[in-house]
Amino acid sequence: MPRYAHQWLLIAAAFATVILMLVLPLLLILHQAFAHGLAPVMEALTSNDMGHAIRLTVVVALITVPVNLVFGILLAWCVTRFEFRGRKLLTTLIDIPFAMSPVVAGLCYLVVYGSQGLLGGWLADIDVQLMFALPGMVMVTIFVSCPYVARVLIPLMQSQGPEEEEAAVLMGASGWQVFWYVTLPKIRWALLYGVILTNARAVGEFGAVSVVSGLIRGETLTLPLLIQMLHEDYNTVGAFTAAGLLAAMALVTLLLKTVLEWRQRV
């Protein structure tokens, strides 16, 4: 327990900051959304644009999360179970999406896959459109959220060491059996944690998706993009309803994460 006034002061300052910077804005979102009662909110929620944006957001997350789940496990396995030249470089490269602004990532994809881009001409020839469509949005979302699973798993698998896997191999387990019966049970909570983080990022991504989506209403608008669009249209209730929805998703994720952290400790 803090014993001096200045210690209490510091704690009070921390609480004030959290309330002022985090909680209050969240509450204001809800307040704004419900400013004119429940009816406009329901109307906004049932509008076509909103329905489409929710579906699109979920589809993007549903593709992104499994891809990054597999990618993250493979990467963590590779980095922690084998010694090879360039291992350190690889672990550094994983962090590129963390270090880079998402907008830059979106632009990079545009430069490579867009119609004026490096592969754009060839892609157009075989009639494949990646940019300004779902594939491109999924690609950039995968890019920006790919480090989470690996980043959660690598330190854990490093600390657990390879002995249990080696013991399983010596008892006749195949690679797949080792993974299924030994590795996966050891990392399952951390893995779930990684998935939750990936999901949160995938659902909330704005910058990169905004660049490659082309912002086509009713076609390539995810929830974050829709919020921006509605806000620019002075559709306050719509914007804040969508924002409230997204915030609620985030809170559920946060709750899940807390539960998992508690489970991991037990």
Partner 1 sequence: MSIQVENIRKSFGAFTALHDISLDVPTNQLVGLLGPSGSGKTTLLRIIAGLERADGGRVLFNNEDVTHLDARRRRVGFVFQQYALFRHLTVADNIAFGLRLLPRAERPSRRDIRDRVRELLSLVQLDNLAGRYPAQLSGGQKQRVALARALALKPEVLLLDEPFGALDAKVRKDLRRWLRRLHEQISVTSIFVTHDQEEAMEVSDKVVVMSQGRVEQMGSPLQVYEQPASRFVFDFLGHINSLEGLYDGHNWRSGDAFLRLDTQGACPDGALTLYLRPHEAELAAAPTEAAHLPVRVAGRSVFGGTVTVELEPQGWGAEVLEVELDRVRWDALQPDRQPALYLLPRRLQTVTCDGDLGPQVAPA
Which residues contribute to the site for partner 1 (CB under 8 A)? 161, 163-164, 166-174, 177, 181-182, 185-186
3-class SS of residue 261: helix
CB of 261 to partner 1, least distance (A): 19
User: Measured from the CB atom, is 38 or 170 closer to partner 1?
Assistant: 170
Residues in the chain: 266
User: Measured from the CB atom, is 20 or 167 closer to partner 1?
Assistant: 167
CB of 190 to partner 1, least distance (A): 13
User: Measured from the CB atom, is 34 or 189 closer to partner 1?
Assistant: 189
Separation CA 187–CA 231 (nearest Å):
42
Phi/psi region, residue 216 (left: phi>0; alpha: psi -120 to 50; beta: rest), is beta
Contact 148, 201 (CB under 8 A): yes
User: Measured from the CB atom, is 71 or 189 closer to partner 1?
Assistant: 189
CB of 231 to partner 1, least distance (A): 48
CB of 163 to partner 1, least distance (A): 4
Separation CA 195–CA 256 (nearest Å):
11
CB of 134 to partner 1, least distance (A): 39
Separation CA 97–CA 116 (nearest Å):
24
CB of 156 to partner 1, least distance (A): 12
User: Measured from the CB atom, is 92 or 177 closer to partner 1?
Assistant: 177
CB of 88 to partner 1, least distance (A): 14
User: Measured from the CB atom, is 101 or 177 closer to partner 1?
Assistant: 177
Separation CA 73–CA 60 (nearest Å):
20
Q: Among all chains, which residue has been given the structure tokens 């209403």?
A: 217
User: Measured from the CB atom, is 101 or 174 closer to partner 1?
Assistant: 174
Strand boundaries in the chain, DSSP class E:
none
Separation CA 110–CA 201 (nearest Å):
21
CB atoms within 10 A of CB 164: 14
Contact 189, 263 (CB under 8 A): yes
